[in-house]
Amino acid sequence: MSPRDRRHPREPSPNRLYRDPFNGKLMGVCAGIADYFGFDVWPVRFAAILALIFFTVPTIIAYLLAGALLDRKPADMYATSEEEDLWRGIRNRPGQTARDARVRFHEMERRLRQIEAYVTSKEFNLNREIRDLDR
């Protein structure tokens, strides 16, 4: 843990930009940017190399600052790969993710109504009474 991490402890957030040294080559800045925006890492690295060729000093300064200021991506930030996919979808396609959630909630509501209709029906009471007789 670096001294800066001890001074400012923060909860891991899937909505923050992190360095990703696990998947990166040099400090993980390009890998972190690619992960945050949902890109493949190679186009981000290619853009960084082009920026380095045309704007050498500003690119080096920006890269070093990003490497020093961005926190390292926590290895245990997501509990499952499904959770990681969900948060990546929220960051990259919020409208589509909201539509998907709405469809899922409507489906859950429909199933809940079916369950409620069954539980309040005479058939349910009859089945329960028959089970009670078997005991």
- Give residue-wise pLDDT tens across range 76-123: 777 787 877 777 777 777 777 788 888 989 999 999 999 999 888 888
**What's the pLDDT tens digit per position in 60-78?**
999 999 999 988 888 777 7
What percent of the chain is predicted at pLDDT more than 70?
A: 90
The total of other beta-carbon atoms located within 10 Å of residue 99's CB is 11
Q: What is the length of the chain?
A: 135
- Residue 71: the pLDDT is 87
Q: In the chain, what are the domain boundaries?
A: 1-79, 93-135
